[in-house]
Amino acid sequence: MAISAQDKILYVANKLGLTSLQNMQGSTGAVYDVDIAGTNSIFTSASQHLAPSITNVNDNRFEVNEALLVECVGFFIYNSSTGAIDNFTTQYGSGTTIVWDLVIGNKTVMKDMPVFGGGSPYTFATSGVLQQGAAETPEQIIRPRHQTFLEGAGILIPPQVEWLVNYKLYNAVTGANVPISETWKIGVYLFGTKVLLNFNTTL
């Protein structure tokens, strides 16, 4: 029997003793941020960035009774001079690989996850929708790149627990480190089922 996103959220909430989470509002949502400083860590300095242009969070922890069940992780790049959004293959080359970790609290819950370059990817950052590039074939439409989809029920980021994404860039042929561009910075978004604060009393 398949486990739904709601089942996973309630199961983890029960394990953590978050008894009020079941009364909150369910939604779909995403959090995103860019490593402007080039520190190989994303979300750790979100409070210093200009929202909502390159981030939509003020802190890398959710408020009480808010949470995100991560079901998709996607990467993009941001031009720190012009504000343009692009895919990392265009600027870093098709031989570049991102290897990343998702850290929640003091636990690495996804480790050494690869995102390979090549092809024309999709990002949520193109007019807010997934778009088809001019050179893409119908077959490529169903094979988006630079995204990692979490099979099953995803991974929950609970309330009031810090999260971050650490990453490094490598040359897929030589294994050498690829330096972060002075202009094109790496960004990431975490997408999935969101739990929003729900006031059950009249304000």
pLDDT 10s digits, 147-203: 777 776 788 898 889 999 999 999 988 999 999 999 999 999 999 888 765 655 433
Q: Is residue 49 included in any domain, yes or no? A: yes
- 135's tokens: 């050179």
- Amino acid at site 98: I
Q: Which residue has the higher pLDDT, 80 or 185?
A: 185
Q: Is 156 helix (H, G, I), strand (E, B) or coil?
A: strand
Please give the span between the terminal C-alpha atoms of the chain, in angstroms, as a whole number.
Answer: 41
Q: Is residue 202 included in any domain, yes or no? A: no
Q: Which long-range contacts (CB under 8 A, 24 or more apart) does 140-145 make?
A: 145/87, 145/89, 145/115, 145/116, 145/118, 145/119, 145/120, 145/121
Stretch 64-70: mean pLDDT, rounded? 83
Cβ proximity of 46 and 55 under 8 Å:
yes
Q: Is residue 201 included in any domain, yes or no? A: no
Q: Which residue has the higher pLDDT, 125 or 200?
A: 200
Cβ within 8 Å of residue 51, ≥6 positions away: 57, 58
Predicted confidence band of residue 28 (pLDDT cuts 50, 70, 90): confident
Q: How far apart are CA 203 and CA 194, in angstroms?
A: 23
Q: Is residue 137 included in any domain, yes or no? A: yes
Q: How far apart are CA 124 and CA 74, in angstroms?
A: 8
> Looking at residue 124, what is its pLDDT?
40
Mean of per-residue pLDDT scores for the chain: 75
Angle at 163 between CA 30 and CA 111, to 5 degrees: 100
Q: Is 41 helix (H, G, I), strand (E, B) or coil?
A: strand
What count of Cα atoms within 13 Å lies in the side-chain half-sphere of residue 70?
Answer: 24
> Looking at residue 155, what is its pLDDT?
85
**pLDDT tens, 4-22?**
666 555 544 554 555 565 6
Q: Is residue 203 included in any domain, yes or no? A: no
Q: Is residue 119 included in any domain, yes or no? A: yes
Domain count, the chain: 1
Q: How far apart are CA 158 and CA 163, in angstroms?
A: 9
Q: Is residue 61 included in any domain, yes or no? A: yes
Question: Domain span at residue 119?
Answer: 5-196
Q: Please state which of the ranges 31-45, 67-81, 187-201 shows the lowest mean pLDDT.
A: 187-201
144, pLDDT greater than 60 = no
What count of Cα atoms within 13 Å lies in the side-chain half-sphere of residue 116?
Answer: 5
